[in-house]
Structure 1
């Protein structure tokens, strides 16, 4: 195969198909392509060739959940440190106050609520 034949086999030099769509259909197609992290052309090509389109939003939600879970672990460790009255706390001069514990517990609750929201947004 010479160079000219190789150039003709690329998508750039391939056939371009035109499909008339309504404005509302255009928006839907663009949104769906974006959700799959694909260009409109690649999205339509894959659909027409029978490939299953998977959303990348679910993996983004899972990544956010993993980060929140790590935050929960750190907050739990901090709470455990405070409740055991560790000598490290006295060395830095930070006394344990009920207000600090309440604030930490509220932060843990907020993280739990955020994790629940993200899990509910996942499509199973």
Structure 2
């Protein structure tokens, strides 16, 4: 059986589904994740067709890896800053402030990436 989009589908008889408000919200979210209307989502699932998610999990894994790399980079920069004796000659050139700003930027990027990942991948 093939799902076809027809102009007269609005004139066909709807099927009502009883569900709790939580179930309704879940259906709306899942349909949105697939880029479908709730009606189209339920029709596609009900007729046994596969649903393709818009979330590319490989890209999410890549974001997680980059987040880890940023954390390691920040750790190395903190290690450099922690050794004040070897860092005294650099501070006169203004590099110390630039490195501290870089660490701050890394933390901000990590926070942004985590927020995006949480929005994209829901348990």
TM-score (norm: length of structure 1): 0.47
> Whose radius of gyration is greater, 1 or 2?
1
Larger relative contact order (CA 8 Å, sep ≥ 6): 1
TM-score (norm: length of structure 2): 0.48
